[in-house]
Amino acid sequence: MSELGYRYVPCDVSGEAELRAVEGERLPSTDASFDAVLSTQVLEHVWDVTWYLGECRRVLRKSGVLVLSTHGSWPYHPHPGDYRRWTKVGLEREITGAGFRVVKTTELLSAPAWVVQFAALALDNVLRRAPIPSIVRSGVAHCSNTMVRLVDAVAPESLRANNAAVYVVVAEPA
């Protein structure tokens, strides 16, 4: 980021982050202090979505941008908690309700492809317990990932629009 002329400020609930997020509390940052907020695969782990999006909005400058990705359909994965999934319409409504205007939503991984992905995850879980070399598991994973990409490539757009595995939203303060 610094090579592009930006200062990156990591924020997390734990670890070595410059800003510490404590749910329900204000981030230790002034209002309108950031040009962008990047939130990748976090929202499904936040209990209080109104608080989280409100803090994203509060720290963004009026000309700022929020880039957020989260799950539509995906297996449960607590880290430490895993609380929700969205439809495209539901996610956009949460974001606009927090004072943003959605510029663009991109749907990643169509419903048929995520069904193949779920099956691949289940197969990998079984193979982890089997006494087989990791090279075999790697080969199976490669084949599975190739199948996911192929199925996704031929899936009709209508099967991706409201049933994606992941949504990426670009929004700006309203």
The answer on pLDDT for 55 being more than 90 is: yes
**Amino acid of residue 74:** W
- Residue 152 in contact with residue 109, Cβ under 8 Å? yes
For residue range 110-124, what is the model confidence (pLDDT) as tens digits?
Answer: 999 999 999 999 999
Q: What is the pTM of this model?
A: 0.88
Instruction: Collect all residues with Cβ–Cβ distance below 8 Å to 170 and sequence separation of at least 6.
Output: 65, 66, 67, 102, 103, 104, 105
Q: From residue 92, how far is each of 23, 53, 120, 143, 172 by CA, in Å?
A: 22, 12, 29, 34, 12
Two tokens at 159?
């099967």
At residue 160 the predicted structure's pLDDT band, cuts being 50, 70 and 90, is confident
CATH superfamily of 2-110+156-173: Vaccinia Virus protein VP39 (3.40.50.150)
Query: What mean pLDDT is predicted for residues 31-47?
Result: 95
Query: What mean pLDDT is predicted for residues 92-112?
Result: 96
At residue 161 the predicted structure's pLDDT band, cuts being 50, 70 and 90, is confident
The answer on pLDDT for 48 being more than 90 is: yes
Residue among 8, 70, 3, 54 at smallest CA distance from 34: 8
Q: What is the pLDDT of residue 142?
A: 95
Two tokens at 150?
């192929």
| The CA-based dihedral angle spanning residues 48, 92, 41, 108, taken in that order and rounded to the nearest 10 degrees | 160
- Residue 59 in contact with residue 35, Cβ under 8 Å? no
